[in-house]
Homo-oligomer: A and B are copies of this chain.
Amino acid sequence: MIKAGIIGSTGYAGAELVRLLLGHPQAEIVWYGSRSYIDQKYSDIYRNMFKFVDMTCKDDNMEALAKEADVIFTATPQGLCASLVNDRILEQAKIIDLSADFRIKDVSVYEKWYGIRHAAPRYIPEAVYGLCEINREDIKGARIVANPGCYTTCSILSLYPLAKEGLIDMDSIIIDAKSGTSGAGRGAKVDNLFCEVNENMKAYGVASHRHTPEIEEQLGYACGKEVVLSFTPHLVPMNRGILVTAYAKLMPGADSQKIGAAYEKYYKDEKFIRLLPEGTCAQTRWVEGSNFTDIGFKVDPRTNRVIVMGALDNLVKGAAGQAVQNMNLLFGLKEDMGLELVPLFP
């Protein structure tokens, strides 16, 4: 049994990790970290866990945790993981960081977009970007896995084959993304109250959202040159789900068939990516509660653009599910272990 500790277990992503690890045949949670609820019973905070979890919440002591755990998940605000990690810890446990601390290779880009000083830049080079379908082999040997963001996972997976195969004009990419409200976290803010979110639709972080450089960096690796794109997130009155609608101009020679073939080439054996028939629109309801990313596309000859639609559950493939997938890779388990979840509908 893999002993797992979670720092930040009472946020929505942390709680989803708990749900998934409770159903994982080879993992066991030994530490429910939560600075806000120290010494409180975990199941008093998340009553869905009543009769499943009997432990109380602990503080953020990563050193103590490293002695008890084989793997540490940090589902915490930006900066915390970097501020806690050190060599002793890394000698004892693997770290899967669900924050952005180790996702971006250029520390100045991180510091500019996040507006904080990186506390442990020396660990950035060795950290592996944990997008399993793309970096599978590198993840296996890592000490630190930088678990991708929710918008990022959906955006990159939706466009990666097209970028890799040179089928789209990389200067023309526009990603219009829509997210359920759990992506905004469990902090008590007026903006996230029921009556503020319900019956509303809005964009936010326009031309400034922090997931932008992460998407640009990864797609840049795919196409072999620097990428600059437009990314606009929106808040949707639903609990879970990310829908990405991505637009790009076709390169000369690219057509519907070649695009379909590119997706097949990279994803046909990927269990957690479901390629929809051409013209079928991805919908968040069909992936809820599961680790799938559904991808569909449509070529528009009128505009010479391809419109790609990707959908995933922001708390599963966009956070906790991918973290478990990374854990499986790190520990040599079957990659889908504990993740064979049929989407819940309605």
A216: nearest chain-B partner, CB-CB: B302
Question: Contacts A201-B284, A202-B283 known; A228 to B174 CB distance under 8 Å?
Answer: no
Contact, CB under 8 Å: B182 / A195: yes
A120 lies within 8 A of chain B by Cβ: no
A101 lies within 8 A of chain B by Cβ: no
Residues of chain B within 8 A of A300, CB atoms compared: 206-207, 230
Question: Contacts A192-B193, A307-B207, A346-B12 known; A174 to B247 CB distance under 8 Å?
Answer: yes
CA–CA, A130 to B228, complex, Å?
40
Q: Among A46, A186, A237, A294, which residue has the most Cβ atoms of chain B within 10 A?
A: A237
Contact, CB under 8 Å: B344 / A344: yes
**Interface set, chain A 50-100, CB cutoff 8 A to B:** 50-52
Contact, CB under 8 Å: B247 / A230: yes
CA–CA, A47 to B309, complex, Å?
15
Residues of chain B within 8 A of A174, CB atoms compared: 174, 176, 247, 305
A194 CB, min distance to chain B CBs, angstroms:
4
A26 CB, min distance to chain B CBs, angstroms:
16
B-contact bits for A216-244, CB 8 A (1 contact / 0 none): 00000000000011101010111111010
Quick check: which of A1-9, A136-144, A285-293 contacts chain B, the rest being far away?
A285-293
A116 lies within 8 A of chain B by Cβ: no
A329 lies within 8 A of chain B by Cβ: no
A189 lies within 8 A of chain B by Cβ: yes
CA–CA, A107 to B50, complex, Å?
41
A343 lies within 8 A of chain B by Cβ: yes
B-contact bits for A28-65, CB 8 A (1 contact / 0 none): 00000000000000000011111110000000000000
Contact, CB under 8 Å: B274 / A245: no
A313: nearest chain-B partner, CB-CB: B344
Instruction: Report the interface size class on chain A.
Output: 35 or more
Given contacts A47-B283, A50-B294, 11 further A-B contacts (CB under 8 A): A19-B345, A194-B239, A199-B199, A199-B238, A199-B285, A200-B241, A201-B283, A202-B284, A204-B281, A228-B302, A232-B307
Which residues from chain A sit less than 8 Å from chain B, CB to CB?
12, 15, 19, 22-23, 46-52, 174, 176, 178, 180-182, 186, 188-190, 192-204, 206-207, 228-230, 232, 234, 236-241, 243, 245, 247, 274, 276, 279, 281-290, 294, 298-300, 302-303, 305, 307, 309, 311, 340, 342-346
Contact, CB under 8 Å: A245 / B234: yes
Residues of chain B within 8 A of A197, CB atoms compared: 194
Q: Among A46, A241, A344, which residue has the most Cβ atoms of chain B within 10 A?
A: A344
11 A-B pairs (CB sep. < 8 Å): A23-B340, A52-B342, A174-B174, A174-B176, A176-B176, A199-B240, A230-B247, A232-B247, A234-B243, A236-B237, A240-B346
Contact, CB under 8 Å: B232 / A12: no
Contact, CB under 8 Å: A198 / B201: no
A307: nearest chain-B partner, CB-CB: B206
Residues of chain B within 8 A of A195, CB atoms compared: 12, 181-182, 186, 192, 239, 346
Question: Contacts A194-B237, A199-B199, A302-B228 known; A289 to B286 CB distance under 8 Å?
Answer: no
Contact, CB under 8 Å: B240 / A196: no
